[in-house]
Amino acid sequence: MAPMTRSFSPEGVPGADVAAYYRRRAAAQVGLILSEGTVIDRPAAKNDPKVPFFHGEAALDGWRRVIDEVHAAGGRMGPQIWHVGTVANPQTTWVPPAPAEGPSGLLAPDTPRGVAMTDEAITDTIAAFASAAAEAKRLGFDTLELHGAHGYLIDQFFWEGTNKRSDRFGGATLQERSRFAAEVVKSVRAAVGPDFPILLRVSQWKQQDFKVRLAPTPAAMTDWLLPLVEAGVDVLHCSQRRFWEPEFPEIDGENGLNFAGWAKKLTGAATISVGSVGLSGDLFDTFGGKSSQPASLAKLVERMERDEFDLIAVGRALLGDPDWVSKVRAGETASLREFSAAALGELV
Ligand SMILES: Cc1cc2nc3c(=O)[nH]c(=O)nc-3n(C[C@H](O)[C@H](O)[C@H](O)COP(=O)(O)O)c2cc1C
């Protein structure tokens, strides 16, 4: 199950309804659940009051209930550890108790928002990622995922459009701008030890600009991702809107490897792919209010059978229907449902 923000945790504390939501997926044969983004202990780590914290006794008690229920139902799960950086949330008037923070106080190129992080802020943020990771392990989660995608904090360091720093966390190359993420990964690895799997989610696209590609070539992708694998990432979760789209068609054609396929080939790490599995429309159709219909899995099966990537994440299909995996396994395709934006308003 792909990580999906649901904003059903008042005061940042996930309750019994959130635990039941994840338990239902575990009971219906979802192999691995990644939680909604849940934020580290920084004052402006979130931009929505109902996004869960991953720190503090009340929120962590809530998460303990989540993982205990998921385990009791036979599932496995990791929290997605998040800091939103300078991204605003137009859906709420709530403001965090401190200004938004990012590498250079930019939301996008030429779009100032929030403050540029000081050395001290960066050090504290890296430590906060590590302590969230230690809590994930202590509570009994099976893994954790660092959210390094979609234009949020870690991705704002990767992107030259939002990282204008002249210190060791900035630079002209992607490898230099990956240093912040690498330091986060190293401190997380030190916090959880050698045997706890660390996932890192990355994307070429940014919510600020869907057309951005951090790595326009395989060489650039290697410079970006290999240091992160060397720093301690076990699994790269390569976010795409449509899993069947080739990453570098100019090299291996229209049916060539997707992002997760290239990331696996270039780094040797295990990878997860994602994007419109089982649905006719993509994520942005949903946010634009369009419904998506159940769609064939044939192209997915073909890619999985050629071992292009190791795991596939399913987002909206599972958000709308807790039994999606069981139905697919049993071949009950006639009972698969359409997905509409209305599903986002409730926790079923
Ligand atoms: C309501 C909603 C919330 C999401 N929240 C997150 C999130 O917190 N973290 C994240 O990495 N991706 C998030 N995503 C992206 C999904 O993880 C997934 O990559 C995307 O929906 C594409 O998969 P799908 O086509 O199977 O839905 C969200 C998507 C949706 C629909």
For the segment 229-258, the average pLDDT, to the nearest whole number, is: 98
Probe residue for ligand 1, chosen from 33, 283, 300 as the CB with the greatest number of ligand atoms within 8 Å = 283
The model's confidence at residue 44, banded by pLDDT at 50, 70 and 90, is: very high
The model's confidence at residue 344, banded by pLDDT at 50, 70 and 90, is: very high
- Is ligand 1 within 6 A of the CB of residue 36? yes
Tens of pLDDT along 148-188? 999 999 999 999 999 999 999 999 999 999 999 999 999 99
Q: Looking at ligand 1, which residue's alpha carbon is closest to its atom 7?
A: 4
Q: Give the mean pLDDT of the chain.
A: 97
The model's confidence at residue 128, banded by pLDDT at 50, 70 and 90, is: very high
**Where does residue 221 fall: left (phi above 0), alpha (psi -120 to 50 degrees), or beta otherwise?**
alpha
Could you list the active site residues? 152
The SS3 call for residue 283 is helix
pLDDT score at 113: 98
DSSP string of 24-58, one letter each residue? HHHHTT-S-EEEEEEE-SSTTS-SSTTSPBSSSHH
Q: pLDDT above 70 covers what percent of the chain?
A: 100
pTM across the whole model:
0.98
For residues 51 and 59, the answer to whether their CB atoms sit within 8 Å is no
pLDDT score at 34: 99
Measured CA to CA in angstroms, residue 84 lies from 107, 114, 152, 161, 254 at distances of: 11, 12, 5, 16, 34
- Is ligand 1 within 6 A of the CB of residue 315? yes
- Is ligand 1 within 6 A of the CB of residue 343? no
- CA of 39 from ligand 1 middle (Å) equals 16
Q: In ligand 1, which atom is closest to the CA atom of 344?
A: 1
Buried-state track 14-37, b at ≥16 Cβ within 10 A, e below 16? bbeebbebbbbbbbbbbebbbbbb
For the segment 56-71, the average pLDDT, to the nearest whole number, is: 98
Q: Which helix (H) or strand (E) holds 285?
A: helix 283-287
- Is ligand 1 within 6 A of the CB of residue 277? yes
Q: What phi, psi does 71 have (nearest 5°)?
A: -65, -40
CB atoms within 10 A of CB 193: 9
Q: What phi, psi does 313 have (nearest 5°)?
A: -100, 140
- Is ligand 1 within 6 A of the CB of residue 344? yes
The model's confidence at residue 295, banded by pLDDT at 50, 70 and 90, is: very high
For residues 80 and 132, the answer to whether their CB atoms sit within 8 Å is no
One-letter amino acid identity for 8? F
pLDDT score at 86: 98
Distance from C-alpha of 340 to C-alpha of 348, rounded to nearest angstrom: 14
- CA of 283 from ligand 1 middle (Å) equals 7
Following CA atoms 180, 183, 184, 185 in sequence, which dihedral angle do they give, to the nearest 10 degrees? 120
**Residue 38 tokens, joined:** 């849940």
Measured CA to CA in angstroms, residue 96 lies from 55, 86, 208, 222, 285 at distances of: 16, 11, 20, 36, 29
Q: Looking at ligand 1, which residue's alpha carbon is closest to its atom 3?
A: 4
What 8-state DSSP symbol labels residue 269?
A: -
Q: Looking at ligand 1, which residue's alpha carbon is closest to its atom 2?
A: 4
What are the start-end ranges of the E strands in the chain?
33-39, 77-82, 101-102, 106-108, 111-112, 115-116, 144-147, 198-203, 235-239, 270-274, 311-313
Taking alpha carbons only, the member of 154, 136, 142 closest to residue 191 is 136
User: How far separated are the first and last CA of the chain, in Å rounded?
Assistant: 15
- Is ligand 1 within 6 A of the CB of residue 201? yes
pLDDT score at 80: 99
- Is ligand 1 within 6 A of the CB of residue 60? no
What 8-state DSSP symbol labels residue 340?
A: -
- CA of 287 from ligand 1 middle (Å) equals 11
